Amino acid sequence: MQLSPDGEKTLDIFENFMKLASERICTIWKYPDLIYQWTKAYKKQLSCIDTYYDTILEKVARHIDIDKRINEVNEADNSTKKHNFIHCLSKYLRSQGPIPREDVLAHFCLIVFAGNESTAKTVSTAMLMLAMHPEIQERCYQEINTVCPGENQYISAGDAANLTYLEMVIKETLRLLPVVPVLGRTATSDVKLNDRHTIPANTGIVIGTFQIHRDPKIWGPNAERFDPDNFLPENVAKRHPYSFIPFSAGPRNCLGVRYAWYSMKILLAYIVRQYRLSTTLKLDQVKVAYGVLLALKDGYPVSLEKRK
């Protein structure tokens, strides 16, 4: 799928849909559904969704025989065999009652998008940060070679768990350039902040992840500098647990956070083990574009040189 024309189409659909969603977020008069449904943007958004469901998602559904999985009995549920996401999702939805096919596809679509777009942007940004800081890149390379030496050696989940410095690098990347720059929440009850301020129930709340992650009161006078040592255990222990929230936090945090960590660490390990990254861009030259996901205005200008 990735190498087919549909793969390119998927990327274009995601890009266009996110652009439309970001524009709506930044345009107050488009908030009411009654108004938005009369705009050209709404028609384009529906077109993106219809095209994705009718072409891309349907082909994937046929490939994995999603209808069979939705209707199959629980014969294998007590076995020790590991099941894929569709099987686990179908099993969960079955426990809630009848399963509309559209519900399974909607969940599947969310996982495909959320699990790929955000991870791809973070890996790209981390590569750029490593290219800007060759001494940090070299330290990552040495750690990767120690944990899983050999250019073609398989990198397991266990190996990824031992790449502690690489994880610190990814965390620092997500601190300075969080892929989700803002979070939205609704207060389910009155929230008392202090003696003077209370957030009333049913109030919409916007949490500025980007601003929190660069606050000098939390991260010190060098908050704008790229420094993986911010995530040394002794430094983490000094901060409030919610001072770093790239995947949100609490009961409404990202459901794919564990998968994200493993996939990002393993992918970066394979890249850094085989290639030396470089760039002419400096950190203070990076310009960001706000949206549902954070984007870099000038892209990710990284050169790769095969290691010898």
| Per-residue pLDDT reduced to its tens digit, 80-106 | 566 666 667 667 666 766 666 677 777
Secondary structure (3-state) at 170:
helix
Domain map (residue ranges) of the chain: 133-307
- DSSP bridge pairs for 289: 295
Average pLDDT, the chain: 85
| Structural tokens at position 18 | 């996110």
E strand or H helix that includes residue 47: helix 40-51
| Per-residue pLDDT reduced to its tens digit, 243-284 | 999 988 888 787 778 888 889 999 999 999 999 999 999 999
The verdict on whether residue 254 carries a ligand-binding annotation is yes
pTM to 2 decimals?
0.82
Rounded Cα–Cα distance for residues 83 and 77 (Å): 9
> 126 falls in which pLDDT band (50, 70, 90)?
very high
Query: Is-contact 90 69, C-beta < 8 A?
Result: yes
| Per-residue pLDDT reduced to its tens digit, 228-239 | 999 999 999 999
Q: How do beta strands 295-296 and 288-289 pair? A: antiparallel
Rounded Cα–Cα distance for residues 175 and 251 (Å): 21
Rounded Cα–Cα distance for residues 258 and 253 (Å): 11
Contacts of 216 by beta carbon, 8 Å cutoff, 6+ apart? 223
| Per-residue pLDDT reduced to its tens digit, 275-301 | 999 999 999 999 998 777 888 988 899
CATH number of 133-307: 1.10.630.10
Q: In b/e form, how buried is each residue of 1-23, taking b as 16+ CB within 10 angstroms?
A: eeeeeeeeebeebbeebbbbbbe
- pLDDT at position 74, please? 47
Nearest to 47 by CA among 16, 88, 73, 92: 16
